[in-house]
Amino acid sequence: MTTALEPAEAAVDERWRRLSPRMLAVHPVMELRRLIFPLVAVLVGLRNGDGGEGGWWALGIGGVGIGLGFLRYFTTSFRITPASVQVRRGLLRRRTLTVPRDRVRTVDVTSHVLHRIFGLARVTVGTGKTDKKNDGVKLDGLSKAAAENLHRELLHRPAATVPGADGLGAGAARPAEATSETVLAAMRPAWIRYGPFTLSGLLTIGVLFGIGSRLVSESHVDLTKIGVVHDSISYLRDRPLPVAILLVSAAVVVFTAIASTAGYVLAFWKFRLSRHSSGTLHVRRGLLTTRNTTIEERRLRGVELSEPLLLRAVRGARVLAIATGLRVGRGAERGGSVLLPPAPRSVAVALAGTVAGDAAPLSVPLTRHGPRASLRRFTRAATVSTVLILIVLAFVLFAGAPWWAFWTAVPLLPIGALLALDRAGSLGHALTPDWLVSRHGSLVRRRYVLRTDAVIGWNMTTSLFQRRAGLTTLTATTAGGNQRYSILDVPDAEALRVARTAVPGLLEQFLAG
């Protein structure tokens, strides 16, 4: 599917401007959200008979939140020049953050529920400083039209202008050529079945538990006096401990599956990956909060095929970009590197090949690392399992723990052996004239496909046990993605061959003599 963007004119206004005035309705709500815990404590105090004083405290806290929201709007301004993007903030301490336009790597456009209600968007201009909270600038509160214009102006060159872009002003216009768009992937409803196997619901459980425990602590609520909670605890107390554990575990599994599916829908609803003739990949996704991410293809260094264990069991996989300027430390789903959400593995492999421009490294046979590398995986699994079993046995013998705890821990040995077998089977690498391929992992099997001309250095590390086995971990360093991609436990001679062949001449200066 190919669409065309009509040619139009792009304008640049170098005056300092404020965000959309509609943010006056959004900023106060966002500030009040940060004060939710003090507000809950005050309101609970009112319910417990704190009198009128608590009411004044609640009004005061609410007033502070609203005041901060208004102050945030009136002390924030920005301007776009042909050379840079500048944001100025602060009242007592004035700060101006400047990002040169030639340093712009990504432009993300996001809109959460409140933004969408008021027709607003947040634009994040990234400069490629991976995992830095202060990477680039954020313009939280442009109109949607202005955000789209800015997005196109900074990355889609020449750009098309959306009519009615209040917030970018009017200035000297210059002509822009039409750009075409080819859709590479779009979410299908059938892909939702992969949601329960992502286990993202475990994170949801942790977040809800943290928020809930803090709310309970602030409000001084006794959960055991709440009807449903009290009845559930009483029911579990009347059951044998193994049965109670199984019931709780089953409840956690069901809730995790539901939460993971809900998270999948919220994060990837209407997912769409397209390629623009201007040389960019554009990702759009999200239900309540929509997100638009643009990646310049000239900054693409490779792709990653990720297969978590449960997702692999149902023949699913996801695709991530290895590119400069993308945040990867926040998690693949929260960052901008997701090129395909959990989907059928065949679709993921085909898409990875399309993005990379070469399907061969996604299916090339891998060189195995030999029995010594496999033995290391079994040794680790057996050691960890045995230590855990001995710890449980110590609790049984000296702390009075029940014997069923020991028998529950014994299956760790065969489970560890199965994981070791899977890890050994996942281990491998390949080298083609243009690509370095590495695969490893069991709980999350990852296949990294990295361009050889993107490798800027090598690290060769050996532990005491690796030296005895004649193995080395060879790590390729690059400017994109995680910046370090390793080939684990490869024989020493093979590590040298791969390094010398992939980037000729790089190692000789260190190995001479």
What pTM was estimated for this model as a whole?
A: 0.79
Neighbours of 144 (CB within 10 A): 21
How many percent of the chain have pLDDT more than 90? 38
- Alpha-carbon span 210 to 206, nearest angstrom: 6
User: Does the pLDDT value for residue 40 go beyond 70?
Assistant: no
Nearest to 141 by CA among 114, 101, 171, 105: 114
Nearest to 119 by CA among 158, 167, 50: 167
Q: What is the 3-state secondary structure (H, E, C) of 187-211?
A: CCHHHHHHHHHCCCHHHHHHHHHHH
User: Does the pLDDT value for residue 68 go beyond 80?
Assistant: no
Tell me what pLDDT residue 357 has.
92
Residue 166 confidence class, pLDDT cut points 50, 70, 90: very low
Q: For the residues of 123-170, what is the DSSP string, one character each?
A: EEEE-S-TT-TTSSEEEEEEEHHHHHHHHHHHHSSS----TT-TTS--
Most confident of 2-6, 17-21, 457-461: 457-461
- Alpha-carbon span 197 to 311, nearest angstrom: 5
Residue 415 confidence class, pLDDT cut points 50, 70, 90: very high
User: Does the pLDDT value for residue 228 go beyond 50?
Assistant: yes
Tell me what pLDDT residue 429 has.
96
How many Cα atoms are found within 13 Å in the side-chain-facing hemisphere of 312?
14
Tell me what pLDDT residue 295 has.
85
Question: Average pLDDT for residues 187-205, to the nearest whole number?
Answer: 85
- Alpha-carbon span 75 to 470, nearest angstrom: 62
